[in-house]
Amino acid sequence: MRNTLTFEWVLEPAGLAGPRTLHFDAAGRIERIEPATTLERDGYLALPGMANAHSHVFQRALRGIGEGGGHESFWLWRRAMYRLAGVLDPDELHAIATVAFAEMLEGGFTAVGEFHYLHHLRDGSRSSKMASAIAAAAGDVGIRLRLLPVYYRCGGFGRAAEPEQQRFVHTGLADFAQTIEHCGSDCAGIAPHSLRAVPVEELPGLIALADETLGAACPVHIHVSEQPAEVRDCVRHYARPPVLLLDEKVGLGPRWHLIHATHAGLTERRLIAARGASVVLCPLTEGQLGDGWFPAGEFVAADGRIAIGSDSNVRIDACEEMRMLEFAQRAATHQRNVLGGPLGPGLTLWRELARTGAQSVASRGGEIAVGHVADLVVLGQEGLLSGVPVRSAVDVLLLSGGRGEPFDVYVAGQLRVRRGRTLAHPDHAGLTRVLERVWSG
């Protein structure tokens, strides 16, 4: 097995450098980086692999479903999601996940934080089979899986869980501890689903459980301020908006990763940045569901940290998530290069999103540096990038490219995608059978 890769250019934490040879151990961890001494190259420009910081992998089978004929909202789309969630078995989940995970690799994601809440079997019985199906799919495809088991308790502020939510729900912390155990070594952290699904009074005990079982530095992910109705209900029930309530009850900090935060107010956004928590943005899903746009430019300017995720997997493409993110900020502010910096919009945004994303799922990647794993996206000089200066290559991807471009992808130094195509064999036939069974009626 090879333990070196050589590139003309590498995006290191300080910026572009090259040519460089990466030396890594059997586990794919980079041991040293040296000036290249050979003329042979494994690619033109190596970027740190992007972590997908928020995915519901089963929702890949929901793509294009729930787009009715009239004006609709998130809450109507959610009915279609519940229909899908209620009928899948472990084999079907495995088929869906192999396709979605392969698309993630082809889209530049080398690790995935799976916000896993489809825990139980169809009859509601406790089982490790659903988590095992996801883990098997990730292994089959070769993506780095970081499971984030979801704690789910109720159907809204002060309301019992609804019948269609029974596959998600835990009876209490002891029950959830078994779910953490089911996730095994793939478990990266925990995910209280949202304040509407977890009574805030239970959060201190949940965090204590995470500290005991996974370590005090383990990530904590939570949906927050995704919908205006959620914010209104939280204020009505607790006399606090969600972010202020979280900080008051459990104390936000760098281990906290807030999903969406679309409708967090200015005071809340400043608090998130000051506490060192990150916001995980999912622009393609937020656009598709009509959620709105988080003011990421203002947040980043205040030293806020952001990552990206594919969420509902309506389309899986790291470059397109970045493009939607940047374009939304441009449209809102009437400025260009809102999220960029001295390296330009592409290199700066890729570097920062990759770093924060990796931290959010404890993936050990996110930077091309000693001690990090060799999770890489490697660009060539053909096609879209033909004749493009190296400093502008990622700008071209940001503005014009994405999944389908002929780049290579490595996970732990092992080639997983060659010229834009996965080397694995995702179960497309299985996904087709799922779609036909679930949606044919």
Catalytic site positions: 260, 311
Residue 92 inside a domain? The answer is: yes
- For the chain, what percent of residues have pLDDT higher than 70? 98
pLDDT of amino acid 392: 95
Residue 235 inside a domain? The answer is: yes
- The secondary structure element, H or E, covering residue 75 is helix 74-85
Residue 411 inside a domain? The answer is: no
Residue 205 inside a domain? The answer is: yes
CA angle 210, 216, 219 (to 5 degrees): 70
By residue range, what is the domain housing residue 206?
50-361
CB atoms near residue 33 (< 10 Å): 16
Q: Which two three-digit tokens encode residue 216?
A: 């005090």
In 254-405, beta strands by DSSP E: 256-260, 278-281, 305-308, 376-379
Return d(Cα 227, Cα 233) in angstroms, integer: 10
Which of 12-16, 28-32, 148-152, 403-407 has the least mean pLDDT? 403-407
Total domain count, the chain: 1
Q: Which two three-digit tokens encode residue 211?
A: 């500290």
Residue 223 inside a domain? The answer is: yes
pLDDT of amino acid 313: 97
Q: What is the CATH number of the domain that holds 305?
A: 3.20.20.140
pLDDT of amino acid 75: 61
pLDDT of amino acid 126: 87
Residue 372 inside a domain? The answer is: no
Return d(Cα 1, Cα 374) in angstroms, integer: 14
Tens digits of residue pLDDT in 345-364: 899 999 999 999 999 999 99
CB atoms near residue 334 (< 10 Å): 7
Per the prediction, the chain carries an average pLDDT of 94
Residue 413 inside a domain? The answer is: no
Residue 153 inside a domain? The answer is: yes
Contact call for residues 314 and 282 (beta carbons, < 8 A): no
Of 285, 378, 377, 296, which is closest to residue 332 (Cα–Cα)?
296
